[in-house]
Amino acid sequence: MTDTDTDTDTDTSTDTSTDSSTGAGTNTGADMDTSTGVSTDTGPAPFPFHLLAPPDPATLPLPHPAHPADGVRLLRGAVYAVPGGSRPLTVDLWLPEDATGPVPVVVFVHGGGWRTGLRDDLGPRFRHWRPGPFARLARAGFAVACPDYRLSGEAPHPAQTDDLTAVLAWLHTRAGDLGLDTARTVLWGESAGGHLAALTALTHHARTGAAAVTGCVTWYAVTDLPGLAEDRPEGAYDPRDPSSFEALLLGGAPADRAEAARDASPVTHVGPQAPPFLLLHGADDALVPPRQSVRLAEALRAAGHHPDLRLLTGGSHLWVGLSDADVEDCYVRTVDFARRCTGAGQA
In sequence order, what are the residues at sequence separation of 6 or more whose Cβ sits closer than 8 angstroms to the Cβ of residue 17? 25
Delineate the domains of the chain, giving CATH numbers in brackets: 66-224+265-342 (3.40.50.1820)
The amino acid at residue 128 is H
pLDDT at 34: 53
* Average pLDDT per consecutive 10 residues, the chain (347 residues; last block may be shorter): 43 44 45 55 85 93 97 98 95 96 98 98 98 98 98 98 97 97 97 98 82 97 97 94 98 98 98 98 98 98 98 98 98 98 74
Per the CB < 8 A criterion, the answer to whether 164 and 202 are in contact is no
Per the CB < 8 A criterion, the answer to whether 135 and 73 are in contact is no
pTM: 0.87
pLDDT at 301: 98
In angstroms, rounded to a whole number, what is the distance separating the alpha carbons of residues 183 and 174? Answer: 13
